[in-house]
Structure 1
Amino acid sequence: MLPRREAPLARLGWAILLLPRNLGVLLLIVYRAVVSPLYGDVCRYYPSCSAYALQAVQLHGLVLGSVLAARRLLRCHPWAAGGIDDVPTSIPLHRPASGRTRFAVTRAGFVVGPRKD
Protein backbone atom coordinates (compact mmCIF):
# COMPACT_ATOMS: atom_id res chain seq x y z
CA MET A 1 0.00 0.00 0.00
CA LEU A 2 1.22 3.50 -0.77
CA PRO A 3 2.04 5.94 2.02
CA ARG A 4 -0.59 8.60 2.59
CA ARG A 5 1.44 11.37 0.93
CA GLU A 6 1.81 9.43 -2.33
CA ALA A 7 -1.81 8.32 -2.61
CA PRO A 8 -3.12 11.60 -4.14
CA LEU A 9 -0.19 11.60 -6.56
CA ALA A 10 -0.94 8.01 -7.56
CA ARG A 11 -4.62 8.88 -8.12
CA LEU A 12 -3.57 11.83 -10.27
CA GLY A 13 -1.31 9.55 -12.29
CA TRP A 14 -4.14 7.08 -12.92
CA ALA A 15 -6.49 9.94 -13.83
CA ILE A 16 -4.01 11.22 -16.42
CA LEU A 17 -3.36 7.71 -17.75
CA LEU A 18 -7.09 7.00 -18.10
CA LEU A 19 -7.97 10.43 -19.55
CA PRO A 20 -8.14 9.32 -23.24
CA ARG A 21 -10.31 6.33 -22.32
CA ASN A 22 -12.65 8.51 -20.27
CA LEU A 23 -12.89 11.15 -23.01
CA GLY A 24 -14.02 8.38 -25.36
CA VAL A 25 -16.50 7.21 -22.73
CA LEU A 26 -17.81 10.78 -22.37
CA LEU A 27 -18.32 11.11 -26.14
CA LEU A 28 -20.19 7.80 -26.25
CA ILE A 29 -22.38 8.77 -23.28
CA VAL A 30 -23.27 12.07 -24.98
CA TYR A 31 -23.98 10.25 -28.26
CA ARG A 32 -26.24 7.77 -26.46
CA ALA A 33 -28.11 10.59 -24.72
CA VAL A 34 -28.50 12.94 -27.71
CA VAL A 35 -28.26 11.07 -31.02
CA SER A 36 -29.38 7.50 -30.23
CA PRO A 37 -32.92 8.50 -29.17
CA LEU A 38 -33.42 10.22 -32.55
CA TYR A 39 -32.86 6.95 -34.43
CA GLY A 40 -34.78 4.70 -32.10
CA ASP A 41 -34.13 0.98 -31.71
CA VAL A 42 -32.70 0.10 -35.13
CA CYS A 43 -29.67 -2.01 -34.20
CA ARG A 44 -29.97 -5.68 -35.14
CA TYR A 45 -27.67 -6.78 -32.36
CA TYR A 46 -27.88 -6.86 -28.59
CA PRO A 47 -26.40 -4.83 -26.98
CA SER A 48 -26.91 -1.91 -29.35
CA CYS A 49 -23.88 -0.69 -31.29
CA SER A 50 -23.42 2.35 -29.06
CA ALA A 51 -23.68 0.23 -25.89
CA TYR A 52 -21.19 -2.22 -27.41
CA ALA A 53 -18.79 0.63 -28.20
CA LEU A 54 -19.12 2.01 -24.67
CA GLN A 55 -18.39 -1.38 -23.11
CA ALA A 56 -15.48 -2.00 -25.50
CA VAL A 57 -13.83 1.33 -24.65
CA GLN A 58 -14.40 0.83 -20.92
CA LEU A 59 -12.93 -2.67 -21.00
CA HIS A 60 -10.14 -2.44 -23.59
CA GLY A 61 -9.24 1.26 -23.80
CA LEU A 62 -9.78 3.88 -26.46
CA VAL A 63 -7.72 2.42 -29.32
CA LEU A 64 -8.63 -1.27 -29.09
CA GLY A 65 -12.20 -0.44 -28.02
CA SER A 66 -12.60 1.80 -31.07
CA VAL A 67 -11.31 -0.97 -33.35
CA LEU A 68 -13.82 -3.42 -31.85
CA ALA A 69 -16.62 -0.84 -32.21
CA ALA A 70 -15.70 -0.17 -35.86
CA ARG A 71 -15.74 -3.91 -36.62
CA ARG A 72 -19.16 -4.14 -34.98
CA LEU A 73 -20.50 -1.20 -37.03
CA LEU A 74 -19.31 -2.92 -40.21
CA ARG A 75 -21.23 -6.07 -39.20
CA CYS A 76 -24.42 -4.13 -38.41
CA HIS A 77 -26.33 -3.61 -41.65
CA PRO A 78 -29.89 -4.28 -42.91
CA TRP A 79 -28.99 -7.76 -44.19
CA ALA A 80 -27.28 -8.91 -40.98
CA ALA A 81 -28.96 -11.69 -39.04
CA GLY A 82 -28.29 -9.89 -35.76
CA GLY A 83 -28.43 -11.54 -32.37
CA ILE A 84 -26.46 -11.35 -29.16
CA ASP A 85 -22.93 -10.03 -29.68
CA ASP A 86 -21.13 -9.27 -26.44
CA VAL A 87 -17.79 -7.49 -26.19
CA PRO A 88 -15.00 -10.09 -26.00
CA THR A 89 -13.42 -10.14 -22.56
CA SER A 90 -10.06 -11.31 -23.87
CA ILE A 91 -8.38 -10.68 -27.18
CA PRO A 92 -5.34 -12.74 -28.27
CA LEU A 93 -3.05 -9.71 -28.57
CA HIS A 94 -4.36 -7.96 -25.44
CA ARG A 95 -4.54 -9.95 -22.23
CA PRO A 96 -4.81 -8.30 -18.83
CA ALA A 97 -2.46 -9.99 -16.35
CA SER A 98 -5.21 -11.60 -14.28
CA GLY A 99 -7.50 -12.39 -17.20
CA ARG A 100 -9.87 -9.58 -16.26
CA THR A 101 -9.71 -5.83 -16.21
CA ARG A 102 -7.91 -4.24 -13.30
CA PHE A 103 -9.95 -1.05 -13.43
CA ALA A 104 -13.29 -0.18 -11.89
CA VAL A 105 -16.17 1.59 -13.63
CA THR A 106 -18.15 4.25 -11.78
CA ARG A 107 -21.94 4.48 -11.86
CA ALA A 108 -21.58 7.28 -14.40
CA GLY A 109 -19.60 4.94 -16.66
CA PHE A 110 -16.12 6.41 -16.25
CA VAL A 111 -13.08 4.22 -15.66
CA VAL A 112 -11.07 4.80 -12.47
CA GLY A 113 -7.75 3.47 -11.19
CA PRO A 114 -6.96 -0.04 -9.99
CA ARG A 115 -9.53 -1.97 -8.03
CA LYS A 116 -8.78 -3.13 -4.54
CA ASP A 117 -9.28 -6.88 -4.94
Structure 2
Amino acid sequence: MNQFVIQLIQLYKTLLSPLLPPACRFTPTCSEYAAQAFQEYGFFRATQLSIWRILRCNPLSQGFDDPLPPNTKGRN
Protein backbone atom coordinates (compact mmCIF):
# COMPACT_ATOMS: atom_id res chain seq x y z
CA MET A 1 0.00 0.00 0.00
CA ASN A 2 2.82 2.40 0.86
CA GLN A 3 4.46 1.90 -2.54
CA PHE A 4 1.18 2.81 -4.23
CA VAL A 5 0.94 6.05 -2.24
CA ILE A 6 4.57 6.88 -3.03
CA GLN A 7 3.80 6.39 -6.73
CA LEU A 8 0.81 8.73 -6.42
CA ILE A 9 3.05 11.35 -4.81
CA GLN A 10 5.58 10.96 -7.64
CA LEU A 11 2.75 11.34 -10.17
CA TYR A 12 1.65 14.54 -8.43
CA LYS A 13 5.22 15.87 -8.46
CA THR A 14 5.60 15.08 -12.17
CA LEU A 15 2.21 16.18 -13.52
CA LEU A 16 0.59 18.70 -11.18
CA SER A 17 3.33 20.34 -9.15
CA PRO A 18 5.03 22.00 -12.16
CA LEU A 19 1.73 23.72 -12.99
CA LEU A 20 1.43 25.30 -9.53
CA PRO A 21 3.51 28.15 -8.10
CA PRO A 22 6.04 27.04 -5.48
CA ALA A 23 4.27 27.48 -2.16
CA CYS A 24 5.71 25.03 0.36
CA ARG A 25 7.31 26.89 3.24
CA PHE A 26 9.13 23.90 4.68
CA THR A 27 12.26 21.93 3.89
CA PRO A 28 11.84 19.22 2.67
CA THR A 29 8.75 20.09 0.63
CA CYS A 30 5.45 18.60 1.76
CA SER A 31 5.42 16.03 -1.04
CA GLU A 32 9.01 14.97 -0.28
CA TYR A 33 8.14 14.75 3.42
CA ALA A 34 5.10 12.56 2.68
CA ALA A 35 7.11 10.26 0.40
CA GLN A 36 9.78 9.90 3.11
CA ALA A 37 7.08 9.17 5.71
CA PHE A 38 5.61 6.37 3.58
CA GLN A 39 9.08 4.89 3.10
CA GLU A 40 9.91 5.01 6.81
CA TYR A 41 6.61 4.37 8.59
CA GLY A 42 3.56 2.18 8.19
CA PHE A 43 0.52 3.42 6.29
CA PHE A 44 -1.46 4.92 9.19
CA ARG A 45 1.44 6.72 10.90
CA ALA A 46 2.72 8.02 7.54
CA THR A 47 -0.76 9.30 6.69
CA GLN A 48 -1.01 11.01 10.07
CA LEU A 49 2.39 12.69 9.69
CA SER A 50 1.63 13.78 6.11
CA ILE A 51 -1.75 15.31 6.96
CA TRP A 52 -0.32 17.14 9.97
CA ARG A 53 2.47 18.55 7.79
CA ILE A 54 0.06 19.72 5.06
CA LEU A 55 -2.15 21.40 7.68
CA ARG A 56 0.85 23.34 8.98
CA CYS A 57 1.89 24.48 5.50
CA ASN A 58 -0.21 27.61 5.06
CA PRO A 59 0.27 31.34 4.44
CA LEU A 60 0.33 32.07 8.19
CA SER A 61 3.23 29.69 8.80
CA GLN A 62 6.78 31.03 8.70
CA GLY A 63 8.07 27.64 7.60
CA PHE A 64 11.38 26.12 8.60
CA ASP A 65 13.53 23.03 8.28
CA ASP A 66 11.20 20.23 9.37
CA PRO A 67 12.71 16.78 8.83
CA LEU A 68 10.81 13.58 9.42
CA PRO A 69 10.97 12.49 13.08
CA PRO A 70 13.16 9.44 13.66
CA ASN A 71 11.33 6.13 13.69
CA THR A 72 12.52 4.57 16.93
CA LYS A 73 9.90 1.79 16.96
CA GLY A 74 10.66 0.30 13.57
CA ARG A 75 8.10 0.21 10.82
CA ASN A 76 4.60 0.58 12.32
TM above 0.5 = yes
Corresponding residue for residue 109 of structure 1: none
Corresponding residue for residue 107 of structure 1: none
Percent identity (aligned)? 33
Q: Which amino acid aligns with 2:61?
A: A
> Of 18, 25, 34, which aligns to 1:37?
18
Q: Let me know the Cα RMSD of the aligned residues.
A: 1.4
Measured in 1, the distance between the counterparts of 2:21 and 2:58 equals: 15
The reply to whether residue 46 of structure 1 matches residue 30 of structure 2 is no
Q: TM-score, normalised by structure 2?
A: 0.89
Count, aligned residues: 75
- 1:1-117 alignment runs, 5 A limit: 20-90=1-71, 95-96=73-74
Secondary structure of 1:83's match? coil
Q: Which has the higher contact order (CA 8 A, sep 6+)?
A: 2
The answer for unaligned runs of 5 or more in structure 2 is none
1:54 is displaced (CA, Å) by 0.5
Q: TM-score, normalised by structure 1?
A: 0.60
Q: Any runs of at least 4 consecutive aligned residues in structure 1 with deviations exceeding 2 A, and if so which? A: none
More helix, by proportion: 2
